[in-house]
Amino acid sequence: MNQAIFGQLNNGVTLMRADFSDHAFERHSHEGFAIGVTTYGIQRFRCKGTQYDSRPGDLVLFNPDDDHDGCRGTADGFRYTMWYVPDAFVASCVEGNRYFSSPHAPDRQLADAFGALSASLTRTPAESLRAESLMRAFLGTMLARHGERPQPGAGPSTMGSATLARVKDYIRTYHARDITVADLASVAGLSRAHLTRAFTAAYHMPPHVYLNAVRIAQAQALIRLGTPLAAVALECGFADQSHLTRRFKGSVGVTPSAWQKMQCATPFTS
């Protein structure tokens, strides 16, 4: 059995409960934070080149643009609950640590608190002030315990950062086009081999993975607006609806049509 259920919480935060017996996520990333807890089985994933096995009670903590995949660690499959949190909301919650120091952290106390809070928020979705206050407090606690400030010198040089930022801007602007490595190399003023190495070293993912993440995020925004899926595929740069479906399911865990139905459904309760 492979299934996932989504619900909207507050301030653009989406809650996902997933139960996967054999689904495997392809390498992908998210524009915002992905914060969750494994609730059953072993959730095996690679993030920035390192493999982790997340067991029940373990936290899964992805920063924006952290590349990762995911699959079952045993034949039993795995389950988890995840919040997808906009970067701007997290930034408004804290003044100190802004990013998670590791994508995996065993912390039964916070995992239990996360589960209880998730259940409470889905039971009473109309209490916006309460929901936002509890979420802000929880994110502050989580980042205080498992967060860090960006380390000086951890990224590319100032010149390299500006150059590669132009490449990311180009991808975001022209994601609907059939972008080539030569296009990106021209924007950066680098050779194609150098561009690919530099981008991957700076952002822990090759350009095509980042392009797919941008396209998926744009597809979700259009689906929320009620855009027909065939039109979504073309507007986001996918060859056709079948191509959209493959890439969407590989990153989100469900097909675009299933995700679309979940956006219109009554929020789930625990």
192 and 183 in contact (C-beta within 8 Å)? no
Question: Does 266 score more than 80 pLDDT?
Answer: no
Under the banding of pLDDT at 50, 70 and 90, the label for residue 149 is confident
Each residue's pLDDT tens digit, 185-237: 999 999 999 999 999 988 888 999 999 999 999 999 999 999 999 999 999 99
Quote the radius of gyration of the chain (alpha carbons, Å): 19
206 and 241 in contact (C-beta within 8 Å)? no
For 38-49, what is the mean pLDDT?
95
Percent of the chain at pLDDT > 90 equals 74
pLDDT at 94: 81
Contacts of 88 (CB under 8 A, 6+ apart): none
What dotted CATH number matches 2-148?
A: 2.60.120.10
Altogether, the residues listed in the chain come to a count of: 270
Phi first, then psi: give them for residue 220, nearest 5 degrees. -65, -40
248 and 256 in contact (C-beta within 8 Å)? yes
Question: Does 267 score more than 80 pLDDT?
Answer: no
Terminal Cα distance for the chain, rounded: 19
Mean pLDDT of the chain: 90
Each residue's pLDDT tens digit, 52-104: 999 999 999 999 999 999 999 999 999 999 999 999 999 888 877 789 999 99
pLDDT at 125: 64
Tokens 């990106």, located at residue: 184
Question: Does 121 score more than 80 pLDDT?
Answer: yes
Question: Does 126 score more than 80 pLDDT?
Answer: no
Question: Does 153 score more than 60 pLDDT?
Answer: no
- Domain positions in the chain are 2-148, 158-264
pLDDT at 123: 81
Class of domain 158-264: mainly alpha
Question: Does 131 score more than 70 pLDDT?
Answer: yes
90/12 Cα distance (integer angstroms): 11
The more confident residue out of 73 and 263 is: 73
The answer to whether 2-148 and 158-264 have equal CATH topology is no
| 79-88, 142-151, 257-266: the lowest-pLDDT one | 257-266
Question: Does 264 score more than 70 pLDDT?
Answer: no
Q: What angle do CA 61, 67, 70 make, to 5 degrees?
A: 70
The more confident residue out of 158 and 14 is: 14
pLDDT at 217: 94
73 and 123 in contact (C-beta within 8 Å)? no
